[in-house]
Chains A and B, each alone.
Chain A
């Protein structure tokens, strides 16, 4: 089941903060975040495991709310390099497959 990502698109100025979300209707074991720049392969950012574990990558951090089956990605003091499409991939118990959402497009302008 494909997770739902929101908002579809975000435009922010350099230095501003933003939050993007990934929700699933199914019980999850983990949430994976990737970023893809135009014409390039998706690049792995981080994994969030059940138990509400929060992990960070530079000024990008994320959380996983197991009760709500929702993950949020926090872009803090955004940089131009943060522009791209962010995909969340969700994994269920006993399943090596990831179900990817449709993506959140993030544009950071000077």
Chain B
């Protein structure tokens, strides 16, 4: 089975702190994604990566950066956390090659910024 794991299920940080969210997948997937999920807004793409050291902005990249140094690991970084970044963060991964490849999701990290 495909497994996508995220470093924390729950995280509480203070405004202005630097926050790292880690995601690891074990299926040798080329593509990895970071989404945030808010009530009534669905899943919104923050960033995605289609290869090591490659990244592309999604729909809401402001206030976030990412890092992909190894194929299996994709990190989301909040340089200076703000209260409006309180949300559920979901990581996903998929194969490349077909436009219709399934995305597999991790369990999510619920981040609270005080």
Contact = CB atoms under 8 A, between A and B. Distances in A.
Contacts of B108: 41
Given A96-B31, A102-B42, A30 B99 contact: yes
B80 interface: no
A37 to B, nearest CB: 12
Interface in A73-110: 87, 89, 91-103
Contacts of B43: 42, 87, 89, 100
B42 A103 contact: yes
B90 A42 contact: yes
B26 interface: no
B40 A102 contact: yes
B48 interface: yes
Contacts of B35: 100
A92 to B, nearest CB: 8
Given A40-B107, A101-B42, A102-B42, A96 B102 contact: no
Interface string A18-47: 000000000001101010000011111001
**By DSSP majority rule, is chain A's interface helix, strand, loop, or mixed?**
loop
Identify the interface centre among B33, B44, B50, B103: most chain A CB within 10 Å of its CB.
B103
Nearest to A49: B100
A87 B92 CA distance: 14
Identify the interface centre among A40, A96, A103: most chain B CB within 10 Å of its CB.
A96
Nearest to B30: A96
A96 B96 CA distance: 7
B78 interface: no
A93 B103 CA distance: 17
B68 to A, nearest CB: 15
A94 B42 contact: no
A61 interface: no
A100 B42 contact: yes
Contacts of A30: 99-100
19 contacts: A2-B42, A32-B100, A40-B107, A41-B90, A41-B108, A42-B43, A42-B105, A43-B105, A47-B102, A87-B43, A89-B103, A92-B99, A96-B50, A96-B101, A98-B103, A99-B45, A100-B42, A100-B43, A100-B44
